Amino acid sequence: MIALEAYNLSKTYRDRGKQIQAVRDVSLTIKPGEVLAFLGPNGAGKTTTIKMIAGLIRPDSGFVKIAGSDPHRDPCALKLLGAVLEGNRNVYWRLSPEENLEYFGMLRGLDQRQAKRYGRSLLERFGLMDKRRSPVQALSRGMQQKLAIAVALVHQPQLLLLDEPTLGLDVEATENVKALVREIAEEGRAILLTTHQLDIAEQLSDRVAIIQAGEIIAEEPTRELIRQFSGSAYTIELE
């Protein structure tokens, strides 16, 4: 089973009479256990693509299938998906990590006991037990990001979408999040992460798709792509 199949996605925004083609004919597939890095400079169309995959923006054309179901037609597809978009704003800042996990677990269809149990195992695994009762706003950015990923995983989705998962984190928190991403993939979940940093793509992904001005210009196994691009002008252009 393919975890994600996105086929020929296109999206044009209409903004004060102007048309902006953000994404053109983007196709991506990800297998269970695979990490695909979606790499491109600011404004390339990464967020628009990931939002179409998450069912938040309807594509003008093309389709998305998550483990076979279309999030734009079948609400059940959303249960197969976890997402951390727009930084870590998928958590409530005045609630504790424990409360967030329980609340979002129940929202995603778990009963209270399951939500508590899965929530607790994620808190343990993500090193958040000490802070489980503190308000999220009192946690470090790295801990908030780990919690955001935990919340996205509480209903055990097959596909995880991460928009710039290490952006703005310090070195230690970045290492922590990178280790978690690898572990989550090893459990057999498919991961699509966006980044504008070649080194993050290199360290975390099995395959890289490069997007520029709304179009995929290359898609390769990461090792192959790094060999081609290392030290080239493209690296500089992305930074």
Query: Binding residues for ligand ATP, per CB under 6 A?
Result: 13, 15, 20, 22, 40, 42-48
d(CA 223, CA 239): 19
Q: Name which of 36 and 150 has its Cβ closer to ligand ATP.
A: 36
* Smallest distance from ligand ATP to CB 11, Å: 8
* Smallest distance from ligand ATP to CB 48, Å: 3
Q: Name which of 17 and 231 has its Cβ closer to ligand ATP.
A: 17
Q: Which of these, 148, 168, 232, 207, lies nearest to 4 by C-alpha position?
A: 207
Q: Name which of 14 and 94 has its Cβ closer to ligand ATP.
A: 14
Per-position b or e across 50-76, b if 16+ CB within 10 A of its CB: bbbbbbebebeebebbbbebebeeeee
* Smallest distance from ligand ATP to CB 13, Å: 3
* Smallest distance from ligand ATP to CB 73, Å: 23
Q: Name which of 39 and 115 has its Cβ closer to ligand ATP.
A: 39
Q: Which of these, 101, 80, 202, lies nearest to 149 by C-alpha position?
A: 101
Query: Are 166 and 174 spatial neighbours (Cβ–Cβ below 8 Å)?
Result: yes
Query: Are 22 and 13 spatial neighbours (Cβ–Cβ below 8 Å)?
Result: yes
* Smallest distance from ligand ATP to CB 44, Å: 4
Query: Are 77 and 56 spatial neighbours (Cβ–Cβ below 8 Å)?
Result: no
Q: Which of these, 50, 20, 33, lies nearest to 211 by C-alpha position?
A: 50
Q: Name which of 102 and 163 has its Cβ closer to ligand ATP.
A: 163
Query: Are 61 and 8 spatial neighbours (Cβ–Cβ below 8 Å)?
Result: yes
> H-helix or E-strand containing 191?
strand 190-195
d(CA 200, CA 166): 8
* Smallest distance from ligand ATP to CB 132, Å: 32
Q: Name which of 136 and 160 has its Cβ closer to ligand ATP.
A: 160
